[in-house]
A and B are shown apart, each in its own frame.
Chain A
Amino acid sequence: MPGRAAAGRIRKAIALINAVEDGAGDEEITPTEIAEAIRDCLELSEVDGVPNVRRYLGEALDAVSDGMPADFVAMTLYAALGALQEGNVGGSLN
């Protein structure tokens, strides 16, 4: 299924942000790690196959660099995930 790897990597980045927000308290997550997770998504060529995914990921990366609130970064990543899912209508990325 095209997009599955990208969806997995976006979910990983979101999970890191959620771990910070929910204070699971079992690890220290830095903005650098979140940025790395987003860069991992951008490295996949499949993000170019669906409109807007690369743009949202780029915005999320900028948001991390600019120190924007975690929820803003998460929202932008959810937008990327949504765009990816819309680009794969008919298949499930779950």
Chain B
Amino acid sequence: MTLAIDNLMPASVATASRCAHCGVNVPSGLINAESEAQFCCAGCRAVYTTLHACGLEDYYRLRDISEAATKPVARSDSRFESFDSPTFHKLYVQNHENGLATADLALEGISCAACVWLVERLPRVLKGVIEARLSLREATVRVTWNPQVLPLSRIAIALDRFGYTPHPARDAIGKELHRRESRHRLVHLGVAGAIMGNTMLLAFALYSGDLGHMEPIYRMLFRWVSAGLAILSLSWPGRTFFRSAWTAISVRTTNLDVPIAAALAVGGVAGLINVVLNRGEIYFDSLTVLVFLLLVGRFIQYCQQRRADDAVGLLFSLTPSTCHMVRGDQVLDAPVEALQAGDCVEIRPGELFPADGVVESGKSSVNQALLTGESMPVGVEPGSTIHASSQNIDSLIRVRVSCIGTETRVGKLMRLIERGIQDKAPIVEFADRVGGWFMAVLTIVAIIVFAFWSRTSLASAIDHTVALLIVTCPCVLGLATPLTIAIAIGQLARRDILVKSGAAIEQLSHGGDLLLDKTGTLTEGRMELLKWVGPEYWRGIVAEVERHTNHPVGRALCRSLRQVDHDSPSRTTISEIVERGDGGITARLADQVLHVGSPTFVQRNGISVPEGLLAALRESESSGTTTVMIATDRIAVAIASMGDRVRPGGADCIARLRDMGWRPAILSGDAHEVVLRVAQQVGIETDRAQGPLSPEQKLLAVEDRTTDRAIVMVGDGVNDAAALAAADVGIAVHGGAEASLAAADVFIARPGLQPLVDLIDTSRRTMRAIYRNLAISLAYNLVAGWAAATGVMTPMRAAILMPISSATVLFLAVVSLRGRTKTSASRSPDVLCAN
């Protein structure tokens, strides 16, 4: 009995201190002993209460069944006024003749089946909502409602109360194109599959007829019908291969589709002639299997790539698309698209500027890291110019918009991206290179076989050559390669690495030049206290002195010091804080005079630096960091070095990448000394660390191809976007700007360099699996080709051999990439909430 109780106790205690909504451990300070349910935050409490009030508590039961995790709620608590504006309706809402309207909304925090249930319960909670359909993959809900009964903002508020902050689903055109492409492929797959099944049934009858007895008239019937089916398969779904092969040939290259199309064409034409002449063998069953299997491989790869693409598209939708417009003395939420030059907008701390403009009122500091790569925030005051995509850090300011959209600096950079995409060197994929060689060898062998057998008779020469071309069709390679890549993309997606193109995996598998952006990629991307030399006692005091400053360095110093130290001295002891805007602050602490500021400020005030601090001062100044000195009664007491911190584990990752054959280099928009400091810290040669570079210079650096090695660009900012687009592989990293998301082939939704190492490691294993498949496929072709050349191959043997060889390679492809996925976490909703 006691045993049972002992076993039960910890469990019940554990559940008691878990958040009733998201299951995260509740901090002890927040536990309310009188309440049955505990919450980790106000957001979770609000959602929990809402769900119970609406009678939707089944959500928790469903979630537990599907074993999914809910994230702590980050509600926006916005009133979503912008959702009712005419511009919003024009862009994102469709009105129907029957008076109803439809809108697609991208939702944050969608993770599992329970979310589907909850979101689709919307019509029960809100009168006027006709239907809500959630697509789990796109994390987008399609709402149909009656605008006469309630406005869209009410629906948005309800979704927000459920814990899913809605955003307008942007990129509707891209999605529509995707949808059409996907339907097209699915129809092809279905048709090819149906024809394959029927042709195989007929072939089965024919083979049995060959073994036993079959009247010639029925044999002819079956042959004619299978010919008809096969021609349909080759000319409808099989068109894909002919078109692709023709495209390659017309630009005088080859790809894997050339030998495939050759086999299909030769097999089809020869079979048709044999049917008409009522002689010889037909291979229609093998041909239809070929078409179907090749389409299956491609379809799976397409689906995986699209999954990655959708996840990136969702991030794109989640970037803020509303702004606070000032009209008279009112502040209205409006979509960014509604902005016009001359409008006045309010930007709150932490928000991005929606357009270029001039500050009208307020003082703040602005982080331009995404735009220029500069890690040092810039102070702004009325009259200063600000640019779209930079971030307001400290306090609310109002900005008069001077230009919007493509006229802004970001808009001009977007045009540079287009140039980058145009200049991108075409990548010849491994399978296509092999396809060229394959075709060349096959042609020679076919000529030899034809010449050899034509000594016997022309008919047997044709028969043997046709058999050779069909059985050596690189079907295995054409099926296994996309499938292996699809498995790799799926594995990477579970680790929050989204790969948009299979070619990227191949490029990343062999070494090359790795060009890294500094700010935000190698470093954290924000100014922090790196080093403090002097008594700890001063930390709290300096934080208090810098509390009201608007100087970016002062603000950053205050922020970092407060994180470390909570018990700052009471405000009353510090008085007479004076800031003259000359690089420092003076204050009075009891009867001492306090100076906090830059080295030049300290010098100007005749402050002496004791021996002990001189070395620290010199080190700080030479290492490219920003130095702040603290002095009392004209004697320096402490030195704070401020800068952008290198991400933990950066040096290890760079060493790993070097081992894997990559030559790292830094391309930064930041000041030279800062770039050098970071290069030294992560272990990159200083002559391979360049900065400051403009976006155009970054693009040039990527396009400058002195070697034929692969060029991979890793970056996060708008200033990297053109270089990302032009590189062989562009990798955008966590927290990046939307421009870089759109331009890159790969998006890494986790911070740090470790995912980059994972990505390259997986790429190498994937390519190794592909090489192995090639070896097996060639061995099979050798055997089958030899059998065909000597006349041992019959259609039945080919029909048996082909699926067996495909199955072997598929099995190996799946097994070789399995087994290493144990460590990876389940597809985390972080991907959906990275912004």
Q: Do A and B bind each other?
A: no
Chain B contacts to A: CB under 8 angstroms: none
Chain A contacts to B: CB under 8 angstroms: none
